[in-house]
């Protein structure tokens, strides 16, 4: 059976069944299964997108493991917003082509055939400054599949962008989060900002985007990745193989007047150790906790120095529009570290977890590697 609402002139006939990586519960790699499932049907105000590229993120692994915990229950199995409805197709980083629009959506029909970048956030309201309260791939099905349904107003037109679909797919979660962090902390030209986890998805985006804004970027990273991070825009490198106190000493020596800001995705023991290296009136914006979610902070280091600690989750619609405009203009060029077929998702995630790469690991659900 074929879906009736597709436009056969653009992509050919849309099949009734697609290949998808389906998350069947919280657990190890075995709960992620490659299956044939029905192609979703777009409703009013929605588009069906053929997924040409979908990047891997840390949140996919944490959601699979149920590693986000719950308030007061740090070890509870949960997604980032709490329960996850299984089966769920993960993948928040989606680039592709619109192949169909929901019934009655005139605007959506004109989008058919367009290359798009999908804003994966589900917001708490309609305005440009709305908060993200859900994510495609967590609270709704995402892009680790050959097709995905998305709200029409979240599909950003990439006509004219010099970026490949693989490069576009690197942007939404990592560069969206990085844009949100830079905007919420007000990081701009002439400021010195320390970026932690600098070779990771969000970290590398922070290095590139902060440098593009004219900030002086100090990248904290594992040994061996410094040259690539300099190439990405870092002015100085600090290695994270040392104890947190030694890392703090190295930063203090490098930036004797204090950091204007820290853009942190790592957390853990580094946070209390590095807090005194932030200047009076500086900002610490945090969006992740790969080195540990619970830390003991000397609050005097915050209030006696007017240091702002800012939590940052994803981006707002306004942040994403800025990112989409950067993508169309080619002002941001993400790095694709590896590409894999969708059926190789377990290998892709294992390699992601090893963290030996610089840039993003991309899956190619549609089977082609170029737009």
Nearer to ligand NAP, 163 or 195 (CB): 195
Residues that bind ligand NAP (CB under 6 A): 57-59, 62, 173-174, 177, 197-203, 221-222, 225, 240, 265-266, 287-291, 312-314, 355
H or E stretch at 100? strand 93-101
Cα atoms in the Cβ-side hemisphere of radius 13 Å centred on 206: 37
Instruction: Copy the structure tokens of residue 210.
Output: 């902060």
Provide, rounded to whole angstroms, the least separation between the CB of residue 100 and ligand NAP.
30
- 178 Cβ contact partners less than 8 Å away, ≥ 6 residues apart: 202, 205, 206, 209, 263
Nearer to ligand NAP, 118 or 289 (CB): 289
Residue 292 φ/ψ, nearest 5 degrees: 135, 130
Nearer to ligand NAP, 147 or 284 (CB): 284
- Name the residue with the smallest CB distance to ligand NAP: 200
Provide, rounded to whole angstroms, the least separation between the CB of residue 223 and ligand NAP.
9
CA 100 from centre of chain? 26
Nearer to ligand NAP, 3 or 59 (CB): 59
Nearer to ligand NAP, 19 or 283 (CB): 283
Write the Ramachandran bin of 66: left for phi over 0, alpha for psi from -120 to 50, otherwise beta. Answer: left
d(CA 45, CA 105): 6
Provide, rounded to whole angstroms, the least separation between the CB of residue 147 and ligand NAP.
24
Q: DSSP character for 302?
A: H
CB 222, CB 248: distance < 8 Å: no
Provide, rounded to whole angstroms, the least separation between the CB of residue 163 and ligand NAP.
19
Provide, rounded to whole angstroms, the least separation between the CB of residue 300 and ligand NAP.
25
């Amino acid at each position: 059976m074929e879906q009736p609402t597709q436009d056969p002139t653009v992509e050919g006939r849309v099949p009734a069944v697609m290949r998808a990586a389906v998350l069947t519960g919280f657990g190890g790699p075995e709960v992620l299964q490659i299956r044939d499932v029905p192609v979703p049907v777009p409703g009013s105000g929605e588009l069906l997108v053929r997924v040409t590229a979908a990047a891997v993120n840390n949140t996919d692994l944490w959601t699979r493991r149920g590693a986000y915990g719950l308030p007061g229950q740090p070890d509870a199995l949960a997604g980032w917003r709490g329960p996850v409805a299984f089966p769920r197709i993960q993948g928040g980083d989606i680039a592709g082509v619109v192949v169909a629009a929901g019934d009655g959506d005139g605007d959506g029909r004109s989008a058919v055939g367009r290359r798009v970048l999908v804003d994966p956030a589900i917001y708490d309201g309609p305005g440009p400054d709305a908060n993200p309260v859900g994510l495609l791939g967590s609270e709704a099905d995402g892009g680790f599949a050959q097709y995905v349904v998305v709200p029409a107003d979240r599909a950003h037109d990439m006509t004219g962008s010099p970026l490949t679909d693989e490069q576009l797919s690197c942007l939404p979660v990592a560069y969206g989060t990085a844009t949100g962090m830079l905007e919420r902390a007000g990081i701009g030209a002439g400021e010195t900002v320390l970026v932690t986890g600098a070779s990771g998805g969000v970290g590398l985006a922070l290095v590139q985007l902060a440098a593009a804004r004219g900030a002086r970027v100090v990248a904290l990273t594992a040994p061996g990745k410094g040259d690539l991070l300099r190439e990405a825009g870092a002015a100085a490198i600090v290695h994270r193989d040392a104890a947190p106190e030694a890392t703090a000493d190295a930063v203090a020596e490098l930036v004797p007047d204090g950091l204007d800001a820290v853009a942190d995705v790592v957390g853990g023991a580094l946070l209390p150790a590095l807090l005194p290296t932030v200047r009076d009136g500086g900002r610490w914006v945090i969006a992740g906790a790969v080195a540990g979610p619970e830390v003991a902070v000397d609050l005097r280091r915050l209030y006696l120095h007017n240091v702002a600690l800012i939590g940052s989750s994803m981006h707002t619609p306004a942040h994403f529009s800025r990112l989409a405009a950067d993508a169309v203009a080619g002002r941001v060029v993400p790095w694709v570290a590896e590409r894999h077929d969708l059926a190789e998702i377990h290998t892709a995630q294992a390699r992601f977890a090893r963290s030996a790469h610089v840039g993003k690991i991309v899956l190619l659900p549609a089977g082609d590697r170029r737009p």
